[in-house]
Amino acid sequence: MRMQGGSAPADARDPHGYADGLARNSGPYAVPGIPHLMMADEHLFAAFRAETLERRFTRRGGNATAYGVQGWFGGTYNRAVLKAEGNVAQGKLQEGRTELLWSHAVSGYWDTQLGLRADHGEGPGRQWLAFGMQGLAPYWFEVDATAYVGTHGRTALRLETSYELLLTQRLVLEPRIEMQLYGKDDPARHIGRGLAEASAGLRLRYEFTRQFAPYIGVERAASFGRTADMIRADGGRAQQTRWVAGVRFWF
């Protein structure tokens, strides 16, 4: 019995070798004026999501309006992403963070992100180079982890994770934890090195549709270490419980 062997034919890797001479947009099956079929990964899409748009209430005043939104534009593997988060009190932006990132899919559930972050609000503005990952961890935990490098040797790390527990098909309970760490003191913005801020909360929403869901909840927020010392020295509270009411939507 003769075994297969020898050199491969010259057209073994010809991309048109099995097309029988047919080409896209030409030949007997091309229709004038009709664009060719595009696969899903060739299209460009856009989306906007307001994860939190809420009013926060505390026992001793200090009520504020908070927002956390994210928008993106691009294809399946590469996207431009805009993230914004902050809070407004007494008609002034107290603290805000805006990020412009390039996002690249590295697996079915994870994206790497690279870009810039700008801090604004009370105190001097800060600019950072950002690098992180965002996606869905095993057991359906949503994770957003980003490291930052700023001017004058500043570094920071932000971690956020959440989980959606479906009580019914419309009633959803969402626990969420967020932490922010810094590599050095920044007294002008009341930030100390180490673990500066952390919050843990529960939000219960009712989804009239998947795109629109009002919610209520409670959140415990605290500052730690030198950050807490700076806040107390300025007459503020390092720990507080917030009752929240807001709406979550996307399109």
CATH number where 56 lies: 2.40.160.40
Torsion, CA 49, CA 145, CA 217, CA 215, rounded to 10: 10
Nearest to 131 by CA among 98, 161, 162, 102: 102
Pairing of strands 155-163, 126-137: unpaired
- Within a domain: residue 12? no
- Within a domain: residue 81? yes
H helices present in the chain, as ranges: 225-233
> Does residue 41 sit in helix, strand or coil?
helix
Residue type, 82: L
- Within a domain: residue 109? yes
Nearest to 199 by CA among 164, 165, 158: 158
Report the mean per-residue pLDDT for the chain.
90
- Domains of the chain: total: 1
* Whether the predicted pLDDT of 3 surpasses 60: no
- Within a domain: residue 156? yes
- Within a domain: residue 3? no
* CA 162/CA 182 separation, integer angstroms: 22
pTM: 0.83
Tell me what pLDDT residue 14 has.
72
